[in-house]
Amino acid sequence: MSNAIEWVKRIYVYAAAGIGLVLIIIGSVQLINLALKTWVFTQADVYRRYPMEVKVPDGEGQQVPTQAELEEYQQKETTSNRQRQAANSLAMIIVGIPVFAYHWRIARRES
């Protein structure tokens, strides 16, 4: 019976270490992707949007945003998306490193 428990513990330790490693890899890939989009492939996040009509609250009808307003909106949205992706990637790495290190140390000590 204790042999079965040892196998379950071993499987758990290696699975947890694997999950931690996967988190580190995914977070790192996302950060590399973000860096490439920011500094190498600068047009990767540019999306072409057609002007859309916006209702004006004072009831004067509808107004079409200017090209400058659309570009400013797109720049803010791109910045926001990049910050969100960076935060998500760093969170994965920050969680993944201790999970992997702890369980890998246990796995190496037991073998």
Q: Where are the domains of the chain?
A: 2-110
Buried b (16+ CB within 10 A) or exposed e, 31-63: beebeebeeeeeeebeeeeeeeeeeeeeeeeee
The string of pLDDT tens digits covering residues 50-85 is 656 555 566 566 677 777 888 888 888 888 889 999
What mean pLDDT value characterizes the chain? 86
pLDDT band at 29 (very low <50, low <70, confident <90, very high): very high
Which tokens go with 104?
A: 């890998």
Rounded to whole angstroms, the maximal C-alpha distance in the chain is 80
Return the amino acid letter for 109: R
Output DSSP code: residue 65: P
pLDDT at 26 over 90: yes
User: In this structure, are residues 18 and 103 in contact, taking their beta carbons and an 8 Å threshold?
Assistant: no
The string of pLDDT tens digits covering residues 34-49 is 999 888 888 777 766 6
Q: Above pLDDT 90, what percent of the chain?
A: 52
pTM: 0.75
